[in-house]
Amino acid sequence: MHVEFLGVPRQRAGVSEIEVQADTLGQLLGILSARIPSFSDLMNVDRLHSALVANLNGERFISDPQTPLREDDSVLILSADAGG
């Protein structure tokens, strides 16, 4: 699936997007932590730190690690604190 980083996650990842294979959100986050060491600072065990959120296909926000993902999904990872 396609993973897009915005804001601080993009800064930490050093790239704006990558392709990853994962069946669930938890699995995806585990892969990202392993592949991008600085990304693990943004994790809280198997979830994103509360300062971050994940969004599925630009539509709904997801947080449950068991959330199933499909190969053609696009996952966005961004700062939860969207305001300014």
Partner 1 sequence: MPFGYHGSYLRIDVAGGGVEHVALPEAVLRQFIGGSGLGVRLLLDEGAVHAEPLAPEAPLVLAFSPLVGSPLTTSAKFAVVSKSPLTERINDSLVSSGFAIAGKGCGCDAIVLVGRAAELSVLIIDEVDVDAGGKRTKVRLESAAKYRGATCRETEAGLKADLGAGYRVASIGPAGENSVRYATISHDGRHAGRGGSGAVLGAKNIKAIALRGTQRTAWAHPSELTALSRSLSKRSFGPATAKYRELGTATNLLTFNRFGALPTRNFQSGRFEEAANISPEQLNATRSKTRKSCMACTIGCEHIYGNGKTGVRVEYESLFALGSLCGVGDSEAVLRASERCDELGLDTISTGGTIAFAMECVERGWLDEPWLRFGSGDALMRAIDLIGSREGLGNLLAEGSRRAAHKIGNNSIAIAPQVKGLEIPGYEPRALQTMALGFAVGARGADHNRSGAYEVDFSDKVDRRHVTLDAVRHAIDTEDRAALMDSLIICKFLRGVFTDFYCETAEMLRNVTGWDVNAEELRETAKRIVSAKRQFNLLAGWTPAEDTLPERILSTPLPNDSEATLSRERLDGLVAEYHRQRGW
For the chain, the straight-line distance linking the first and the last C-alpha, in angstroms and rounded, comes to 31
- Give residues 38-67 in contact with partner 1 (rule: CB under 8 A): 41-42, 49-53, 55, 58-63
Residue 37 binds to partner 1 (criterion: CB under 8 A): no
Binding-site size for partner 1 (CB under 8 A) equals 28
Nearer to partner 1, 10 or 18 (CB): 10
DSSP code string of 28-81: HHHHHHHH-GGGGGGEETTEE-TTEEEEETTTEEE--TT-B--TT-EEEEEES-
Binding positions for partner 1, rule: CB under 8 A: 4, 6-8, 10-11, 41-42, 49-53, 55, 58-63, 76, 78-84
